[in-house]
Every structure is written in C-alpha cells, then in structure tokens.
Structure 1
Amino acid sequence: MGNRLETEKIGKLMAKFAIPAIISMLVGSLYNIVDQIFIGQGVGILGNAATNVAFPITTFCVATALLFGVGGASNFNLAAGAGDEEKSHQFMGNALMLLILGGLIIALIVLLFLNPLLDLFGVTEKVLPYAIDYTGITAFGIPFLVVTTGASHLMRADGSPTLSMACTLAGAITNTILDPLFIFGFGWGIKGAAWATVIGQVASGVLVFFYFTKKSNIQFKKKMFRIQKDIAKEIWELGMASFINQIAMAFVQIIMNNTLRHYGAKSDYGAEIPLAVVGIISKVNMVFMAVCIGVSQGCQPIWGFNYGAKNYKRVEETYKRAATICVAVGVAFFLLFQLSPRTVINLFGDGSEIYYRFAERYLRIFMFFTFINAIQPMSAGFFTSMGKAKLGATVSLTRQVLFLLPLIIIFPLIMGIDGVMYAGPIADFSAAVLSIVFVIREIRWMRSQR
C-alpha cells in the first residue's frame, strides 16, 4: 500500500492538509488584526499608525520562519517521496535549530536598534511614543513567533496538520482574551496589546516544543540537530522563494510608510491618517491572503511528494483545484471591499469624515484585483514545493519588487498620495498574469513527461 499522498483522493487530501493550514494562517493573522481592532477602539488612530510602523518587523520574522520552515518542510517531503528517510529527518532537525537561532538574532537586533529602526520604518513624531511602547515589548516574543510560524510547516510535513493548527490557535485565543483585559480592564493601552501578543506567542511556542519532544512521528537524535552546511544550504534554497517574497513585502512596507509620511503631510489628510489606514487595510488583506496561502501550504506536501514520485497528473490536478478555491475566495472579498468598505473600516475604531473618505477610496482602489491576488503567492509555493527554487523565487519577486516598488515611487511623483492607491491594482494584475504564464509552461512540461 503506497503513501496516502500518492494514493488517497486529492479532494480528501486537500481537505485534510489545507483546512488546518488555512485555520493556522487565519489564526496567525489574528495576532495582528485583533491588536489592530482593540488598539483602534482603545487608543485610536495614533495606535493604529504605530502598529503599522512596527509591522515590517513582523514581516521580517515571518520571512525567517518561512525560510527555514518551508525550506525544511519542502526538503522533508521531497526526501520522503524519494524514499530517503534518514535525510528527511536531518532536514527536520536542522530546520528547527535554524528557526530558534533566527528568532533570537532578530529579537536582539530589534532591542538594540529600536529607535533607528522605527525611524527607518516611517514613524512620525506623534506616533513615536506608541511605536516604542508596542515594539519594545513585542520584541521579547519574536523568538516564539519565528519558531511557531516555521514549525507549523514542519508539523504538517510530519503528518500532523491538526496539531499544527492547535499550536497556533492556542496562542491566538490567549492573545484575544488578554487584549481587552489588558487594554481596557487594566488600562495599559497599547502596552497591554503588546503584552497580550507576547504571552500568546509564548503559549504557542511551548506547545510546539511539546509536540516535537512528545508527539512527533520522528524519533529525534542529537545528531539531527547539528546544523550541517549541505543540509542548511538545501533548506535555504527551497525556503528562499517564500523568504524573498516576505522580505520584499517588508521592503515595500518601509518604502510605502515613508511615501505616505512624506506625501500625506503635503495633502489634506496629514501624515497620520494614511499611515493608520494602510496599516488597517494591510491587516484586513492578511485575512484574505491567510485563506489562500493556507490552501497553498496545505497543498505543498501533495505537490512535493507526487512531484518527487513523478506522479505529475496529481500535481496538476491539485494545482487546478487550489487555484479554483483561491479565486472563489478572492471574488467574495472583492465584493466585500467594493460594496461595504466603511463596514470594514469601522471595525478598527471611529474617525473623522476625512479619515473615512481616504480609507474607503484606498480600500476600493488598492484592493481592486483581490479576486486574482492569490495566484502569485500560490504559484511561488507550487514551484518551491517541487524543488524549483529559482523559479519560485522569481515568481515571489514579481509583485513586490518588479511591479509594486517602482510604482509606489513613480506614481506619487505624478499623482501625490493617490499614486500609492493606483500602484496596487496594476502590480496585482501584472504579477498574476506573469505567474499564470509560468504555471502553464510547467504544466505543459509535466504533461509531456507522462
């Protein structure tokens, strides 16, 4: 009897792996969106702007987690599909150690260079005190955030998608309970939101440690945790596409924040309203992307194993089903953003009429191509899971670096702050089209090999 990844019905496999991945991604996004909602209600626009300024740090953490988590999981699946159990276990142990080291290094850098980093990320004088309070506290949770985010991929690869989801869910529930208690009950304001986030991250990290010491399907040995240059290199190569995509996102966030600060100050909106609004909408978009990236992550073990086993028909069928689901979800969010933008914005606190005017326009314009936005990140994961690291990295770079970054620099020179709004949909459409071209080419090649 073969491995279930090559014998079980694809629909059933996708449900088993993708649903927990989607929930894990949604829960992960709650760390940011719940903070944003409670901060908006309890602190106001300046608090929302502070979390937006701090957000590139979270993106750097996720980038590191995906570098070692996706890289380790993809290599694990490919080695398992090829029948090399010993090497697959080495990938798992090395990935875990790299996650721990990566989280500690990022936390140390943030704590040592907090003020210069916030200035680099686009903070204004009014927002700075809130940003220092929030980021200075959440830095202590960074190692747990990196380990939990990366380990969720390793746990799914290990055959435990439900337990992976449970680890992430425990932290998010903790955070959601503590947020209103600390912000409103104890009157800690933005510091309360930060401490709630840290405690939630620690809770998830503890459960991940418990899983790998007590519940894993792998019998770990000390030698598996000794970082080996060749193993680390292979992990790095297959995690690079996801890493680059996140780093590009962080870089774009930094440029965008500085652009908003500069051109916002010259507009009727001021600098703080655009910073707050863009922070809110980026968190809302995370909910949509969490669903679609969760689908992609749930499919990666199926893609990787079957590609390694040369079952190309199953690889193609899985991609088509995943793309159909993501486009359907995208259409639903597109309708929400276009028809009820104020309902979305109101979740994050009240504001002036000029605040609502900017927020509604930004949401409708910037997120116009939501219905196809998932194609590019899903395709990057598709190529990475099959061991095509360079192609995955190329696809990852398309939206953020190739299209969006130049546009958010050039368009505001012509259109002022409105230029940022129109840069989004053009970049989204261009990246989706290019990704589809690469996917069609790959599917044609797989068909020729049958």
Structure 2
Amino acid sequence: MDKINDLEQKPVGKLLAQYSIPATLSLVVSALYQMVDRIFIGHIPEAGVLGLTGVGLTAPITTIIMALSALIAFGAASTISIRLGEEKREEAEKAAGNAIVYVLITSAVITVIFFLFKPQIFEVLKITGHSGLYAAEYINTIVLGTVFSMFSFTFPIIIRSDGNPTFSMITTLVGCVLNIILDAVFIFGAGLGIQGAAVATVISQAASTMLGLLYFWKGKPALCLSRKTMRPDISTLKSIIKIGSVPCANQLSVSVAQLIGNYALVQYGGEVYVGAMTAIRSVFQLFMMGVYGLGQGFQPIVGYNFAKKSYKRAFDTLKLSFIWDVVILALGLILAQLLPQYWIKLFIKDQALAAIAAYGLRKFTMLLPLASFVAVGSGFMMMTGKAKPAIFLNISYQILISATTIYFLPLLIGTDGLWYSQPLTDVIATVLTIFLFIRNYGSIIKQMR
C-alpha cells in the first residue's frame, strides 16, 4: 500500500512528475501508432497524398473507437483511484476486472456494426473515389483489430492506477517500437502499401495487450483480479460510465468535429486540404502529448485527495499541472512557428501540399498555449465529481466552437479561415473554462483562503 499512501504524503511536484512523465511518454508512444503510419503512408511512391487523405477521411471511425476505449479506461482508472481513497479495495478491484469484460463486449459490438453498415458509414464520411479505395484498405483491417486497439489503450491506464506507471509506459513502448519495425516491413518490404500500415498497427497493439494480460495474471499487481471481480456489476458500471463519460464525450465530439471539418476542408479547399489538415493535426497532437500526459498523471492524485477532502493538495496539483502545461505548449508554439516545414515534411513528401500544410500549421498553432485551459479544466472536473460541466465543456469545445468556426470562418475570410479556426476556438474555449471553473469551485477556493 506504500504506492497508494504516496498519493497523500509525497510532495506534489515529485508525485506529479512520477505519474506524469511515464504517462506522457506512454501517450507520445501511443500517438506514434497513428503518426508513424501517416509518416510511412505519406511517403508511399505515387500514393502518398491520396493515402494520407484516405486516412484523414477515416479519422472519425478511429476516434469513435478511442472514445469508447476512453470511456472504459478512464472511467475504470478514476474509479480505482477514488475507491482506494475511500479505502474500498474490493470495489477498486471490481472496477479493474469489469473494465476487461466491457472492453471485450464493446469491441465485438463495434466490429459487427461496422461491417454490417459499412456502405452507409462510408457514404456519411464521403469515402469515395481513389482516396476512398486507400481509406477502405486501411480502416477494414483497423476495425478487425478493434479488441486489441481497445485493450492496448485500456491496460496501460489501469496499470498506472494500480501504482505502476513504469510498466504502463513499457507496455505501450513495446507496441510502438514493434509498430515502427513492422510498418517498414509490411509497407515497403512486403509491398502491402497502406494495408501494411494497418496490419502493423493491429499486430503491435496485440503485443501490448498480451503484456497487459501478463501483468495482471503473472506479475505482482497491487489489485488482484479474479472471476469474481470480472463479474459485471451495475454499480461499478454506473461509476465507470459517470466518470468515463467525460473523456468519451470529448472523443465523440472530436469525431463529429472531424467529420464537419472534413466537409469544410473539401468544400473550401478541395480534397488535398484533408491531407494537409491530417498532417497539421498530427503535429498539433504531438505538441499536446505533454499536456495530455500531465492530465493523466494528475488524475489519480486529484481523485484520491479530493475524495479524502484534502482540497488544498488537489488544487496545488492542478496549479502545478497548469504551469507545466503552459511551458510545454509555449515551447511547441516556438517550434511550430520557426520550423513548420520540418514538421510537415515528416508526413508529406509532395512539395506543393507540404507548402500548403506548413503555411496552415503556423496559423493553426499561433495561440497554442491556450489549449491547456480546456485540457486541465475538464480533467479536474471529471476527477472531482463535476461530470456534467466537464462534458458540457468538452462538447462545446469540439462541436459548438471548433466545428462551427472551421465551417463558417472561411465564409468570412476565405481558406485562411480553415487554419485560423483553431486559435479562435482556443480563445472562446478558454473564456468558457474559466467561467465554469469559477462557478463550480468558487466556494471551495474561498474556504481555503
């Protein structure tokens, strides 16, 4: 129990670093699954631009898979932290066991629905033409491996809540390294093209899944799993859904925003702009990995201490996380503004498309540090029982603000509106986050003074 006691005794700075650094590295490695695929796909001879566009068109599907993974993973992990803070060990073990069962059920449902309604799904996403052929090759294989995708996302997060952030990082790292190797083997060595990227991803995620299973069945976890803990429990399910609905709603909102964004990109710039934005968003997500890692790292600390009513410690963790986030994103801003071509050419070989994307990247990231407000604010709300405002914030950020600005701003200022939509979104979302935070925590903050 020493690892658990650290949550209320160890200095906040050291504890945040202990949990956030492995979480950040895990997220960077996890993000590299998609990024490495896109890098290799973007350099496939005579197919790079169309292949990258095809992957961009399938983004709403992979985001939905991630959303449901986040529902289970973060819901279970947060429930574990809260139950441990309440000294309810058996309930924490039940949350971990139930998560495994729900991943199996959910992944099976996703796979069946996709292949039953694939024509209708492709029609909604506008997956047609030559880029549509590449999209189909890629997404068919990815969906077949949904169970491994969900487990490779879920296990590291639960293992971190079990008090072992290092093994959590190793689980993801092994999969990523394997993915890089297999991408080269299948795409270029075996000549499988874009489908080879998907096959490499599924095999790599399967390897991460096996490590997660070995940790709980052959390792020395703090939480013990058994048939009893994996027996579906309604109260545990409610807790997982209540907490996990925040990141799930966020990812589902991202999926809707991606769909609307793709419509806007095709309408105002043409199909190649989807490929350009795919590269831009990949760079943007890379800069955001530190923020997301801190968000995951502070969750068990905040959840545990807030449950024990150690409010000052919870808010100290929030404040320190926010400061670190701003520093990280300020560095990202500098790198994006000074070296846009460098980042874009990681994904795009075509010179004309690379020029469009590099121009867009500088506009897209011009207020990058503001993105920390929503990330930190919604995560804190999720872990402190404020699920409704957290969900409202995330949905507003992606659908009401992001999707609206990218669709309508080009009507006012032309194609530049596609790129300026992100900084405008960040300004509006920052104001909304501050308003919701004051409204929900104003009284607690006054009591601590």
Question: Which TM-score bucket, shorter chain as reference?
Answer: over 0.9
1:388 lines up with 2:386 in the alignment: yes
- Say if 2:249 and 2:395, in contact at 8 Å, map to a contact too: yes
Classify the secondary structure of the residue corresponding to 1:11: helix
CA deviation vs aligned residue, 1:299-357 (integer Å, no higher than 9, x gap): 1000000001111111111111111111111111111212221111111232243x234
C-alpha deviation, 1:10, in angstroms: 0.9
- Say if 1:114 and 1:132, in contact at 8 Å, map to a contact too: no
- 1:160 is aligned with what amino acid? N
> Of 216, 223, 228, which residue of structure 2 is paired with 1:218?
223
What's the counterpart of residue 405 of structure 1? 403
- Say if 1:115 and 1:132, in contact at 8 Å, map to a contact too: no
> Of 26, 29, 36, which residue of structure 2 is paired with 1:27?
29
- 2:265 is aligned with what amino acid? L
1:95 lines up with 2:99 in the alignment: yes
Classify the secondary structure of the residue corresponding to 1:223: coil
What's the counterpart of residue 307 of structure 1? 306
Report the TM-score, using the length of structure 1 for normalisation. 0.94
2: CA distance, partners of 1:115 / 1:83: 50
What's the counterpart of residue 328 of structure 2? 329
1: CA distance, partners of 2:169 / 2:37: 20
CA deviation vs aligned residue, 1:151-175 (integer Å, no higher than 9, x gap): 2221111111111111111111110
1: CA distance, partners of 2:348 / 2:189: 18
1:263 lines up with 2:268 in the alignment: yes
- Say if 1:293 and 1:374, in contact at 8 Å, map to a contact too: no
Classify the secondary structure of the residue corresponding to 1:250: helix
- Say if 1:380 and 1:395, in contact at 8 Å, map to a contact too: yes
What's the counterpart of residue 117 of structure 1? 121
CA deviation vs aligned residue, 1:117-173 (integer Å, no higher than 9, x gap): 233223341201111111111112211111221222211111111111111111111
What's the counterpart of residue 12 of structure 2? 10
2: CA distance, partners of 1:31 / 1:114: 24
Q: Which deviates more, 275-284 or 122-131?
A: 122-131
1: CA distance, partners of 2:115 / 2:210: 22
- Say if 2:348 and 2:354, in contact at 8 Å, map to a contact too: no
Classify the secondary structure of the residue corresponding to 2:129: coil
1:234 lines up with 2:239 in the alignment: yes
- Say if 1:122 and 1:257, in contact at 8 Å, map to a contact too: no
1:172 lines up with 2:176 in the alignment: yes
CA deviation vs aligned residue, 1:96-120 (integer Å, no higher than 9, x gap): 2112222222222223333432332
Two-structure CA RMSD over aligned residues (Å): 1.8
C-alpha deviation, 1:408, in angstroms: 2.4
- Say if 1:237 and 1:389, in contact at 8 Å, map to a contact too: yes
Work out the percentage of aligned pairs sharing the same amino acid. Answer: 34
> Of 347, 364, 367, which residue of structure 1 is paired with 2:365?
367
Classify the secondary structure of the residue corresponding to 1:222: coil
2: CA distance, partners of 1:186 / 1:372: 44
Classify the secondary structure of the residue corresponding to 2:146: helix
1:48 lines up with 2:52 in the alignment: yes
1:433 lines up with 2:431 in the alignment: yes
Classify the secondary structure of the residue corresponding to 2:309: coil
- Say if 1:22 and 1:294, in contact at 8 Å, map to a contact too: yes
- Say if 2:341 and 2:355, in contact at 8 Å, map to a contact too: no
1: CA distance, partners of 2:439 / 2:236: 30
- 1:219 is aligned with what amino acid? C
Classify the secondary structure of the residue corresponding to 1:374: helix
How many residues were matched structurally? Answer: 443
What's the counterpart of residue 416 of structure 2? 418
- 1:223 is aligned with what amino acid? K
What's the counterpart of residue 267 of structure 1? none
Classify the secondary structure of the residue corresponding to 2:197: helix
C-alpha deviation, 1:441, in angstroms: 4.8
- 2:31 is aligned with what amino acid? S
C-alpha deviation, 1:221, in angstroms: 2.7
C-alpha deviation, 1:416, in angstroms: 4.3
CA deviation vs aligned residue, 1:363-413 (integer Å, no higher than 9, x gap): 112222212212202211111112221122122223112211222232233
2: CA distance, partners of 1:175 / 1:115: 29
1:249 lines up with 2:254 in the alignment: yes
- Say if 2:75 and 2:244, in contact at 8 Å, map to a contact too: yes
1: CA distance, partners of 2:10 / 2:355: 51
2: CA distance, partners of 1:313 / 1:423: 37
Classify the secondary structure of the residue corresponding to 2:43: helix
2: CA distance, partners of 1:293 / 1:74: 15
- 2:326 is aligned with what amino acid? V
Q: Which deviates more, 59-68 or 358-367?
A: 358-367
- 1:57 is aligned with what amino acid? I
- 2:434 is aligned with what amino acid? I
What's the counterpart of residue 268 of structure 1? none
C-alpha deviation, 1:440, in angstroms: 4.4
Q: Which deviates more, 201-210 or 120-129?
A: 120-129
- Say if 1:26 and 1:287, in contact at 8 Å, map to a contact too: yes
- Say if 2:279 and 2:357, in contact at 8 Å, map to a contact too: no
What's the counterpart of residue 83 of structure 2? 79
C-alpha deviation, 1:230, in angstroms: 2.2
**Matched ranges for 1:86-165 at <5 A:** 86-165=90-169
Classify the secondary structure of the residue corresponding to 2:145: helix
1: CA distance, partners of 2:179 / 2:355: 31
Structure 2 runs not aligned, ≥5 long:
none
Structure 1 runs not aligned, ≥5 long:
265-270
- Say if 1:122 and 1:254, in contact at 8 Å, map to a contact too: no
